[in-house]
Chain A
Amino acid sequence: MPTPFEYLASFDRLVHEPARLAILTALSACEKADFIFLRNLTGLTKGNLSSHLGKLEQGGLVAIEKTFEGKQPITYVGLTGEGRDALKAYWKRFDSVRKGLRRLKPLRTV
Chain B
Amino acid sequence: MDEHRLGRIRLLSARFHELQGLRVALAGACMTLVVGGYVIVTPHPTNDGAIVAMLASFVPVVAGMPRLNRYYATTFGRQVWTRSRKLPLVLGIYMVVSWSLNVGIPAIPAGGPTVGTVGLVSLWVAIRDWPWRAYYLGATAAVAIGFTASAPVGGLLPPNLTLGVMFVLLGSSMVPIGLLDHLLLVKLVKDAQQPQAATDAP
Residues of A within 8 A of B (CB): 17-22, 25-45, 48, 51-52, 54-55, 74, 76, 78
Contact = CB atoms under 8 A, between A and B. Distances in A.
Contacts of A25: 6, 9-10, 13
Interface string B191-202: 011111111111
Contacts, number: 102
Interface of B: 1, 5-6, 9-10, 12-14, 16, 74, 76-82, 189, 192-202
A72 to B, nearest CB: 9
B201 A55 contact: yes
B77 A33 contact: yes
Contacts of A52: 201
A44 B1 CA distance: 13
A22 B76 contact: no
Given A18-B1, A40-B192, A29 B13 contact: yes
A21 B6 contact: yes
Contacts of B1: 18, 21-22
Nearest to A94: B3
A39 to B, nearest CB: 7
Contact of A19 (B77, B194, B197): B197
